[in-house]
Each structure stands twice: as structure tokens, then as C-alpha cells.
Amino acid sequence: MAGPGKVLKPPTRPPKGLRKAKLETPAAASPAVGEPTATPVAAALVPLARAGGAPAAPAPKPTRAARPRSASRRKFLNDAFAIPAWLTFFSGTGLFLLGFIQRFMFPNVLYEPPTTFKAGFPGDYAVEEFSQKFKELYRVWIVREPTEIFALYAKCTHLGCTPNWMATEDKIKCPCHGSGYYRSGINFEGPTPRPLERVKVSLADDGQLLVDTSVHYQYELGQWSLPGSNLKYS
Amino acid sequence: MKDTLDNLIAKLLDLALNNQLVRSMYKTPWPTNRRSRIVTMLGSMLLHLHPTRIPRTGLPVGFTLCLGGISFFLFLIETITGILLMFYYRPEVSHAYSDMKALEFDVPFGILMRNMHRWGAHAMVISVWLHMLRVFLTGSYKPPREFNWVIGVVLLTLTLLLSFTGYLLPWDQLSIWAVTVGSNMGKATPVLGSEGPFHDLALIKFTEMNDARFILLGGRFVGQGALLRFYVLHCIALPFVAAWFMAFHFWRVRKDGGISHSL
């Protein structure tokens, strides 16, 4: 397979260091021939040092390239500086990415109903009314008793299902395991260990009921006597 | 000083390697010769992914330019960022576009993840093409590697299909009309397309309600059906098939004589 490609093979190129020296200092290239002590690498370094404003390089030292290649590489790998440096670099980069991902998981906007809402005027509720108006969106029943009005959180205290209001039986019943509560929220049957929780009610500036589902009042802790747990009618 | 350091390193290595956790993962002791190194590599799930030995001429990066590795790396980036994007994206006509916008404006680093996914996809298409070009120019497709070239062509097609299906998901005007145009090619499928060549030779009559394009779009036009189908293809079906072919591809590289190198 002696094609013309073999015949036109280009001549061998000079070593890399020499080529560089020739390119950067055409004037210095020819005197370099007269300096047998200067290695190609040192010759290339001299113009670089001059360009940086540093004084001219002193007598040429033995270079890295002069040592056996494998030894210098092993030296580098064993370098007490290089290993911690690479470890720092990769762990730092990894931690940064993990930080991005961690922050990514907490969005700045939630598409959920707010925890505070206005539930109309107290006069909108008839005495003895058990209102389911806000259960769907806010998980809260508004209960109007003869002397007070309060907001009952519709979350079973057994395992957290949403119970149902059974109007004909005048009780709250959980479909999951049968826990039952009176309209006051006190439990009377089923596996639940404690009454339902109430959430904070207050009056807004415009006189409407203001419900805050982030503040809870537990009967067994005596919190149903606290001011936010209900509104008294005088 | 040097001896103290060496002693310290040896002690730390001993502490890190000779405990029950490491011993349970690596059945063989710390390899000290060529044979035990090979046995350790082959006996470990993670290490066996690497070749037990590579030719000296396979070390310089200039021959392969690591283009296959870059493609695989980009695939991993696409997988990680894609999973993250799935946390905030719903493939519904009513939500897709606003979810994409929410990723850009509401989610911290959401715009970074989305852009990494998008630019990574562009870069992957480019690197796969360049990988193919390199394999062609270095003659690495020649026997015994000719079947791995075929697998590579399948992987190229899968890369392009992943790009095409992902293109629809932002659900903006650009993606809807681009996929409208692209999927119209399905009509021209031979035999199986309602307007393709030989469609009248098929045993049943293909219309726009039952031809190849309908299967792709799940409807007569790019709508909810198409969005959901492209989403499932993009997030589950195509990555799964691509990962399988990649494993096959890498395995064949090993079996066909290791990494491509100058002779």
C-alpha cells in the first residue's frame, strides 16, 4: 500500500520548546544555538519573564523535564498539598450543588390557602349553627353556641383523617376508624385519645370573624379557656 | 518528616480499609499485585464499571477527546436536573406553562436547573454528533466494533427523540407549533400514515383518527393527550431505553477491545 500519502510525509518537526522559542523571539532563536547550556524550556522561559517585567532569568537550573517523567508524576500525586487541594475543590463543588438542590426544595410561592381568613360577621351564624362553609378550603368548622362562637379544626386526633359532620345524629364521626365527637369537639367513642382541637378566632377591624388555623387550642391542656379559643357573646 | 507523613497515611488507610463495613463490601484484601487488583475490580459493583486494564495508547485524551464520556456526563446532568424539574412541573394544559414560569421566578435556583436542563440537552445533541464524527474519522467503527456503531446510531436517535419530546413540555407557542409541524411527519409514514406512501395498500383504512401520528399525539392535534404522552415518553420510556442501550454500548466497548486508541 505505497500510496502518494507516504511519499508526501512532512519532515520531522523540531521539539516543542524550540518551536515556541522561535515563535516568540525570532531574534533570540539564532543566538540560542550558540548557547549549548540553555535547555529548550529555559530558552522559552526567558522571554516570558521579560514580558512580565521581571529581571532576566539567572543561570539555567535543571528543569522538571530533565528528571524522569514517571518520578515527577509520582511526586505530584504524593504531594501533601495536591491531595487536600483536590479534595477541597471537589467537596466544595459538591456541597455547593447540594446547597442549590436543598434550596430548590423550598419554593418562594405556595399554592395553598392562607392560614388566616375572614369568616364573615358573627351575626351571620344562627344560634346552634354548625357551619361547614369553610371546611373544604380551610378544614375548619365554625360552631355557634348560645353564649360563644368557636372554630373547630376538622382533623381527627386519632390518626389525622378529616371527620364528617353528621347533622341528623348531632355528632362528628371519623370515617377511618370510627372516632366520634360531640359538636363541642369532645370525644366520646372510638379509638381517639383526646378531643378535637380548636383554632384561634378573633374580631377583625371591620367586625368580621378572623380565623387563624396556625394557632391551636387543646382541651386536655386547659387551653379552651384561653381568650383566642372562642368569642363570648355578652 | 517524610517518614512520619507516610506512617500517618498508612495508619489512616489501615483504619479506613480494615473494618467490617469495607470488608463486607470488598471481599478481597487490599490488592498488592496485578492479579489481586484485577480480582478486586471484577468483584466490586462500582469498580467493575472500569476496565481492569487499559492500553497505554488509550491514556492520551487527544484521540477520543472524551466525547462519549461527555455525552454520558450530560445524560447524568439531564437526569438529575430533570428529576428536580419534575417536582414542580405538571403535564396539564392548564398548568404546564405556568409551572414552567413558576420554576423560573418562584423556585430558588429553579431557573438554574431549568437552564442546565435545556442547555445540557443542546450540548448533548452536539457532543453525540461530535462523538460519532470522531468515531468515523478515526475509523473506530471498523471490525470488531461495527455492531457498537449500530448501537450508537440507536443512541443518537434516542437522544434526538428525547430532545423532541422535551421540546413540547414548556407548552409555549414555540413548542406547540414546533411539535405540530414535527408530528405532521407522522402522517407521511409509509403504510401507517394516513397520507403516507402505500397507505392504500394497508389492510385497514388509515385516517387521521388511527394512523401513526394519532398514536404519537393521542389525539387529532397537539393537545392534552399529546402533552401527557410526550411527558411520559420524555421522563420514563425514552430515558429507560437510552440507559439500557448505554449500558450495552459501554459493555461492548470493553468486549470489542477496550477504549479506542491509536495503533
DSSP chain A: ---HHHHTPPPPPPPHHHHHHHHH-HHHHHHHHT-TTS-HHHHHHHHHHHHTTPPPP-SPPPPGGGS-HHHHHHHHHT-TTHHHHHHHHHHHHHHHHHHHHHHHTS-S---S--SEEE---GGGSPTT-EE-TTHHHH-EEEEE-SSEEEEEE---TTT-PPPEEETTTTEEE-TTT--EE-TTS-EEESS--SPPPEEEEEE-TTS-EEEEEEEEE-GGGTGGGSGGG-EE--
Q: What pLDDT sits at residue A63?
A: 58
Pinpoint the alpha helices (H) of A112-161.
135-138
B102: chain A residues, CB-CB within 8 Å? 107, 109
Residue A81 at interface with chain B, using a CB cutoff of 8 Å: no
- Looking at A49, A78, A107, the residue that finishes a domain is A78
In a domain, B13, yes or no: no
Q: What pLDDT sits at residue B231?
A: 97
Q: Higher model confidence: residue A7 or residue A148?
A: A148
In a domain, A108, yes or no: no
The answer on A223 and A120 residing in a single domain is: yes
Q: Higher model confidence: residue A117 or residue A48?
A: A117
Q: What pLDDT sits at residue B18?
A: 84
Q: Is A71 exposed, middle or buried (0-12, 13-18, 19+ CB in 10 A)?
A: exposed
Q: How confident is the model at residue B259 (pLDDT cuts 50, 70, 90)?
A: confident
A167-218 per-position pLDDT tens digit: 999 999 999 999 999 999 999 999 999 999 999 999 999 999 999 999 999 9
**ipTM of the prediction:** 0.78
Q: What pLDDT sits at residue A133?
A: 95
- The C-alpha cell 369568616 sits at A119
- The C-alpha cell 436536573 sits at B81
* Distance separating alpha carbons of residues A220 and B163, to the nearest angstrom: 59
DSSP per residue, B121-166: HHHHHHHHHHHHHHHHHTTTTSTTSHHHHHHHHHHHHHHHHHHHHH
B12-35 per-position pLDDT tens digit: 988 888 888 888 887 788 888 989
Chain A: closest CA distance from residue B93 (Å): 17
CB contact under 8 A, B108 and A108: yes
A82: chain B residues, CB-CB within 8 Å? none
| Parent domain of B70 | 66-255
- The C-alpha cell 459493555 sits at B251
**For chain A, what percent of residues have pLDDT higher than 70?**
66
Q: Please compute the mean of the pLDDT values over residues B68-94 and round it to a whole number.
A: 96
Looking at every residue in chain B, the average pLDDT score rounds to: 92
Number of domains, chain B: 1
The CATH number linked to A178 is 2.102.10.10
Q: Which chain B residue shows the shortest CA-CA distance from A83?
A: B9
In a domain, B19, yes or no: no
CB contact under 8 A, B106 and A108: yes
> Which of B5, B102, B110 lies at the smallest CB-CB distance from A104?
B110
A100: chain B residues, CB-CB within 8 Å? 109, 112-113
For residue B213, pLDDT beyond 60:
yes
Q: What pLDDT sits at residue A77?
A: 61
Chain B: closest CA distance from residue A111 (Å): 11
Q: How confident is the model at residue A58 (pLDDT cuts 50, 70, 90)?
A: low
The answer on A123 and A45 residing in a single domain is: no
Q: What pLDDT sits at residue A21?
A: 46
The answer on A171 and A68 residing in a single domain is: no
Q: What pLDDT sits at residue A52?
A: 46
The answer on A127 and A223 residing in a single domain is: yes
CB contact under 8 A, A108 and B109: no
CB contact under 8 A, B109 and A100: yes
Q: How confident is the model at residue A59 (pLDDT cuts 50, 70, 90)?
A: low
Q: Please compute the mean of the pLDDT values over residues A115-119 and round it to a whole number.
A: 95
Amino acid at residue number A206 = D
The continuous run of DSSP H or E covering A152 comes out as strand A148-153
Q: What pLDDT sits at residue A1?
A: 40
The model's pTM: 0.73
Residue A51 at interface with chain B, using a CB cutoff of 8 Å: no
Please state the φ and ψ torsions of residue A140, each to the nearest 5 degrees: -135, 135
Chain A: closest CA distance from residue B167 (Å): 23
Q: Which chain B residue shows the shortest CA-CA distance from A100?
A: B109
In a domain, A84, yes or no: no
Q: What pLDDT sits at residue A76?
A: 62
The answer on A123 and A61 residing in a single domain is: no
A80: chain B residues, CB-CB within 8 Å? 5
CB contact under 8 A, A104 and B107: yes
A97-115 per-position pLDDT tens digit: 999 999 999 999 888 899 9
Q: Higher model confidence: residue B115 or residue A67?
A: B115
Number of domains, chain A: 2
Please state the φ and ψ torsions of residue A46, each to the nearest 5 degrees: -60, -55
Q: What pLDDT sits at residue A35?
A: 44
A63-100 per-position pLDDT tens digit: 555 555 566 666 666 777 888 888 999 999 999 999 99
CB A116 within 8 A of CB A211: yes
Amino acid at residue number B197 = P
CB contact under 8 A, A104 and B102: no
Q: What pLDDT sits at residue A234?
A: 66
In a domain, A136, yes or no: yes
Q: Please compute the mean of the pLDDT values over residues B82-91 and round it to a whole number.
A: 97
Q: Higher model confidence: residue B214 or residue B41?
A: B214
* Grid coordinates given for A107: 419554593
A109: chain B residues, CB-CB within 8 Å? 102, 106
Q: What pLDDT sits at residue A2?
A: 42
> Which of B88, B106, B112 lies at the smallest CB-CB distance from A100?
B112
Query: What is the distance between the terminal CA atoms of chain A, rounded to a whole angstrom?
Result: 112
- Looking at A78, A108, A133, the residue that finishes a domain is A78
Q: What pLDDT sits at residue A64?
A: 54
Looking at every residue in chain A, the average pLDDT score rounds to: 79
CB pairs under 8 A between A and B: 28
* Grid coordinates given for B157: 436517535
In a domain, A106, yes or no: no
Q: What pLDDT sits at residue A70?
A: 61
Q: Is A179 exposed, middle or buried (0-12, 13-18, 19+ CB in 10 A)?
A: buried
Q: How confident is the model at residue B89 (pLDDT cuts 50, 70, 90)?
A: very high
Q: Please compute the mean of the pLDDT values over residues B128-151 and round it to a whole number.
A: 95
The CATH number linked to B171 is 1.20.810.10
In a domain, A111, yes or no: no
Q: What pLDDT sits at residue A68?
A: 54
CB contact under 8 A, B108 and A80: no
In a domain, A53, yes or no: yes
In a domain, A128, yes or no: yes
B4: chain A residues, CB-CB within 8 Å? none
For residue A19, pLDDT beyond 80:
no
In a domain, A195, yes or no: yes
| Parent domain of A38 | 15-78
